[in-house]
Structure 1
Amino acid sequence: MKKKKAFLAAFLAAGMLTGCLGRSGGGTMNTESSRIYITEEGALQTATVETYTQQDYYRADELKAYLEEAVTGYNETHGQGSVTLDSCTLENGNAKMVFRYASGSDLAGFTSQYEDKVNQVDSITVTRVSDILEQSESEGVTFKKASDGKLAEKKALSNKGDCFAIVVETPQPVTIQTQGKLLFTSKNVSIKDHYTVQTAKGKNYIIFK
């Protein structure tokens, strides 16, 4: 059993956590590729998605049991409900795992512990635009419109003070999808569609409805 768990861990860390950006998506969570997802309520989820070749070896119930054990271990240290496994499937050579987090620190902590390299961040915070304007201005951050990539004026940002702002620091680019439509991003963020971006290494700002 220990050997099987070790193999599953190696399978996840080495073989499955290299998912790339899939097709363009809408506001509904796209589980065709790995990403961080933020709902219209500001809740955080991750999808870890990858293909595998040894279809006869891997079993969904074993993978689910392994992941549930990892979640239980994390929650015992950080508090019940910090991380939840929403779903886990193995089908036709595709593995999909969706997790839900109580906070940005739980997402950062669990993806690091679980070695989810595709969704791993140093920190992620979901707040309101009004809360980040002064901070971003002091940092000299330049914002662009998500609709056309043109420079966003300060007044346009201020007018969206009640909208959500994501502040994320990453050791490498990650894909982030928002349930609400994107409004503005910091200049270093790459916009993929109306709901999806790829961050740059370092600090990124993303604003959505």
Structure 2
Amino acid sequence: MSDTMDTVRPLEASRAKRLKAETNETHGRLDQAIMAGRPFESRERYARFLAVQHQFHRDIDALYSDPVLDGLLPDLAGRRRFDDVSQDLGDLAIEVPAPATEPAFGADPDIPTALGWLYVAEGSNLGAAFLIKEAAKLGLSETFGARHLAGAPEGRGLHWKTFTAALDTVELDEAEEARMMEGAKAAFRRVHGLVTENFP
């Protein structure tokens, strides 16, 4: 990231709010695609939803142990959900899906792009408050089959606000801001593609 303070763009609105505004249309299309797949109609359909979640969290798993990101974002390791998704698959005796591609991030991620992807991942946990209620109708819970949808001990709202407050303070120049924004859009597109694959 930039070492020069004079290239940092003044922020008219919070970064999280700008990300939300820029990705609103893409996010809306994704939500519609997920619900059109009727993932909570049966455990069989929910298994397809878990496959989507497993691949996405596999894509970003390396980010949660990245030392640079850990220095920028609070309790990053504690926000990791890949193991929870894997346990959910095990709870329902579902075979772990074979990976279709290499994970999106390796050992040396582009930090601004990674921030965009993490914004999407953290935002999905905020929205999972609705999903876990739907999962409960299938006999699933925070301790069986829907672990990855569980809220944080301090509550979803505070967990999200802590993340966005830290995200807003990261110093990025204009080019880095653009990479972060594109990272968020790419993450939404990635999940949408996975939904299309698993809910034909």
Give the TM-score category using the shorter length: under 0.3
Higher share in helix: 2
Q: Which protein is bigger by CA-based radius of gyration? A: 1
Give the structure, 1 or 2, with the largest relative contact order (CA under 8 Å, sep 6 or more). Answer: 2
